[in-house]
Amino acid sequence: MRRRHSLILGAAILTCGPLEVDTLACTVTFAGAPVELRPREFALLAHLARDPMRVHEKQDLLREVWGYQLPGRTRTVDSHASRLRRKLARAGAEGWVCATFGIGYRLTPHLQPSRMSARSPP
């Protein structure tokens, strides 16, 4: 319940250019077309979309998206990020989830940060 609640804090719809993440309805669209994601893929994308230009460290993602408290070696973030990348690429958002070697991941929409926004639903 706590992790689910953390998804809906802040804006209900996160917008990065043609990418929209609706944290209340748990839906994602790219250029108006729906993108089907599994719950953890959605949670990862929503977390990255909250601060898209920032590199999110793997340990922070494990703690905030998966709820892991103890540091350890796992490929969980990598495998979910890989699946998320493929699904976004099929929707036309190729290259939007970017790995920073040895650190973590970030969302890299191909547009200026000033065009990114967060808003509440109408």
At 106 the three-state DSSP class reads strand
CATH code matching the domain that covers 2-114, chosen among 3.30.300.30, 3.40.50.1100, 3.40.50.620, 1.10.10.10: 1.10.10.10
Q: Is the pLDDT of residue 38 over 60?
A: yes
- Residues 14, 49 contacting (CB under 8 angstroms): yes
- Report the relative pairing of strands 33-34 and 27-30 from DSSP bridges: antiparallel
Handedness of CA 109, 110, 113, 117 (dihedral sign): negative
| Structural domain spans, the chain | 2-114
At 72 the three-state DSSP class reads coil
pTM of the model: 0.79
Q: Is the pLDDT of residue 113 over 50?
A: no
Residue 52's pLDDT band, with cuts at 50, 70 and 90, is confident
Q: Please give the pLDDT value at position 102.
A: 86
Q: Is the pLDDT of residue 5 over 90?
A: no
Tally Cβ neighbours within 10 Å of residue 6.
16
Q: Is the pLDDT of residue 122 over 70?
A: no
More confident residue, 4 or 80: 80
